[in-house]
């Protein structure tokens, strides 16, 4: 499974490049505690988190007859954004992006993060210059990113067989299939390795392993 047949790498952001799953657990536990619902740990989170996130909230016990999903989702994003600067990139990321760039691959981001916040975060972590395009969503509700992915591919104008999508969730695998592009999954973020191995795309152990494939 070499990467030499690709020209362009599309990265997911949250969980794949940005190490933020732990923060999602802490923020959610604050919301669950306020509603006297059972708390979760990271391992449990990785087995139940999913897209669209509304269903994930239902699994946790949120009652949308009592409070609209839009209010709950916005509460999460407000709490998350208050602490977002506590999150760091996975340690391998800056050097990995630099090496990939030097080897002649172009790179983009396709994320369920809100667009303006996504752009701001890539600048804050000083990696924005590595990306040709940065595509996020136009709201905070993380319904999915296939439609945005279609826009990204239209603007890239690179043959699909020369594109590779790298993500950390089952949804990333689904997006890869819906876009008709190859995908590699890495269990370093929001989904467990057991869930990822049930997908149709290859799973590698770590970001560092990508270097052995270049």
Residue-wise pLDDT for 135-175, tens only, equals 998 754 445 688 899 999 999 999 999 999 999 999 999 99
pTM of the model: 0.93
Radius of gyration of the chain (CA): 17
Structural element, H or E, at residue 178:
helix 170-179
Token pair, residue 208, equals 């560092």
Q: Is the pLDDT of residue 10 over 90?
A: yes
Ordered by start, the domain boundaries in the chain are 8-19+88-211, 21-86
In Å, what is the CA distance from 98 to each residue of 49, 103, 122, 213?
A: 31, 9, 14, 15
> Could you tell me the pLDDT band of residue 3, with boundaries at 50, 70 and 90?
confident
Residue 55 to residue 69: CA distance in whole angstroms: 10
Parallel, antiparallel, or unpaired for β 182-185 and 163-167? parallel
**Mean pLDDT value of segment 43-59:** 93
Handedness of CA 134, 54, 195, 44 (dihedral sign): positive
At 31-48, the pLDDT tens digits run: 999 999 999 999 999 999
CATH topology assigned to domain 8-19+88-211: Rossmann fold (3.40.50)
Closest CA to 144 of 12, 34, 20, 23: 12
Q: What is the pLDDT of residue 4?
A: 86
**∠ CA 30-121-18 to the nearest 5 degrees?**
65
Q: What is the pLDDT of residue 139?
A: 59
Residues near 148 by beta carbon (within 8 Å), at least 6 away in sequence: 110, 135, 136, 137
**Mean pLDDT value of segment 47-61:** 93
> Could you tell me the pLDDT band of residue 1, with boundaries at 50, 70 and 90?
low
**∠ CA 142-97-19 to the nearest 5 degrees?**
45
């Amino acid at each position: 499974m070499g990467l030499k047949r690709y020209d362009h790498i599309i990265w997911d952001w949250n969980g794949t490049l940005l190490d933020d799953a732990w923060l999602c657990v802490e923020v959610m536990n604050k919301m669950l505690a306020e509603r006297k619902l059972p708390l979760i740990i990271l391992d449990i989170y990785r087995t139940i988190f999913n897209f669209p996130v509304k269903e994930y909230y239902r699994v946790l016990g949120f009652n949308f007859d009592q409070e609209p999903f839009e209010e709950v989702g916005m509460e999460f994003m407000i709490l998350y954004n208050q602490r977002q600067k506590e999150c760091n990139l996975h340690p391998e990321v800056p050097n990995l992006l630099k090496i990939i760039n030097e080897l002649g691959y172009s790179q983009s981001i396709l994320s369920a993060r809100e667009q303006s916040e996504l752009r701001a975060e890539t600048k804050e972590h000083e990696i924005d210059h590595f990306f040709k395009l940065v595509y996020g969503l136009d709201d905070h509700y993380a319904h999915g990113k296939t439609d945005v992915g279609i826009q990204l591919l239209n603007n890239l104008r690179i043959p699909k067989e020369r594109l590779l999508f790298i993500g950390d969730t089952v949804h990333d695998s689904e997006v890869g299939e819906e876009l008709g592009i190859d995908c590699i999954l890495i269990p370093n973020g929001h989904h467990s390795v057991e869930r990822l191995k049930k997908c149709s795309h290859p799973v590698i152990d770590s970001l560092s392993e990508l270097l052995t494939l270049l």
